[in-house]
A and B are shown apart, each in its own frame.
Chain A
């Protein structure tokens, strides 16, 4: 799957994009975020408080309960601040 990070999530993780094999047992955005939080100190910091994060699946706003599959694009970012 394709993962994208924006704003301070990108800075903490240290990259804007990566591909990942969907880990066994991971079927929701929440479980994916938990998995990512264990990949290193930057990830741990970025995913420490899911309440501060928003997500999109396949370029549409989603929630942490949204179901995901191996070919999805999942993005993590803070609440948007455009306009």
Chain B
């Protein structure tokens, strides 16, 4: 199985990423994707993301390995942006290739749920000149915990 994990400041080209993922083989019959965007919540002017560079890709790779152990996957691409992002910009892409849609859909949601509560990223919201750290949401922890039941 191929796994591509990238942490970058610049935007990504979804079509190019999906084309690269689907090149993995003739037995790929399904590619499920999730793309996260910056919402313009309550006058938000920017999101600023930082991460723990030495840990981030390793941590995400562990989640990919777990997904691979749970579902028959043919390829995974995870891209996460850091730095300053404006409302409407893309933040994250999770794309999963499999032979059939069930595995692709489920593994895509699993990876996104895990990334939310385990990958070492932190978001700061800016509204006008005021910056505020985003608090972790219990609902995100619940979504990840669901996969343990």
Contact = CB atoms under 8 A, between A and B. Distances in A.
Contacts, number: 73
Interface in A59-81: 59-61, 73, 75, 77-81
Interface string B111-123: 0100111111111
Contact of A56 (B55, B116, B117, B121): B55
Interface string A1-13: 0001011100000
Contacts of A77: 52, 120, 122
B99 interface: no
Contact of A6 (B36, B50, B80, B136): B50
Q: Secondary structure of the B side of the interface?
A: mixed
Contact of A82 (B92, B124, B133): B92
B92 A56 contact: no
A17 B115 CA distance: 24
Interface residues of B, number: 28
A73 B80 CA distance: 24
Nearest to B81: A82
Interface string B42-55: 00000001111011
Contact of A81 (B52, B92, B123): B123
B52 A83 contact: no
Interface of A: 4, 6-8, 56, 59-61, 73, 75, 77-83
Interface of B: 36, 49-52, 54-55, 58-59, 80, 91-92, 112, 115-124, 133-136, 140
A82 B51 contact: yes
Given A60-B55, A77-B52, A82-B92, A7 B124 contact: yes
Given A56-B120, A79-B135, 4 more contacts: A61-B59, A77-B120, A80-B117, A83-B116
B122 A80 contact: yes
Best-surrounded residue of A75, A77, A79, A83 (most CB of chain B within 10 A): A83
